Amino acid sequence: MTSAALVLLMVPGVGFFYSGLARRKSALALIWLSMVSIAVVAFQWFFWGYSLTFSHTGSAFIGDLSNFGLMKVLGQPSVGSSKLPDILFCLYQGMFAAITYVSPLLRELSAEMKTERNIN
């Protein structure tokens, strides 16, 4: 739980980092984009992403939608460890899904904004 909260703090940190590489007027937009992307990724992760990634009944490559919307996740042990509840494992992995999505997105947008500054 603590490690998931620390990863959640990393997302605005990445937004602040890449906003330092862009123009001053674009800084707030990049920080806002990092926070909105958490919402988008969290929605996708908690509805179908976790079930397709860490399903108990799926194949070795892709899971099934048996846990769609986190059905039957609360009381089960996780795929990673039998001592960890499935819902905490889902939260932890979801935060890494968010930071994995945010970092390349902000990197490309800050580079585009910086290139736009050099053109004008």
Identify the pLDDT of residue 118. Answer: 56
Identify the pLDDT of residue 99. Answer: 83
pLDDT tens-digit series, residues 11-44? 888 888 877 777 777 778 878 888 888 889 889 9
- Distance separating alpha carbons of residues 46 and 51, to the nearest angstrom: 8
pLDDT tens-digit series, residues 36-86? 888 898 899 889 888 888 877 777 788 788 878 888 777 777 777 788 888
The conformational region for residue 69 under phi > 0 = left, psi -120 to 50 = alpha, else beta, is: left
The conformational region for residue 72 under phi > 0 = left, psi -120 to 50 = alpha, else beta, is: left
Q: What is the pTM of this model?
A: 0.71
Model confidence at 119, pLDDT cuts 50, 70, 90, reads: low
- Distance separating alpha carbons of residues 89 and 73, to the nearest angstrom: 10
Domain ranges of the chain: 2-119
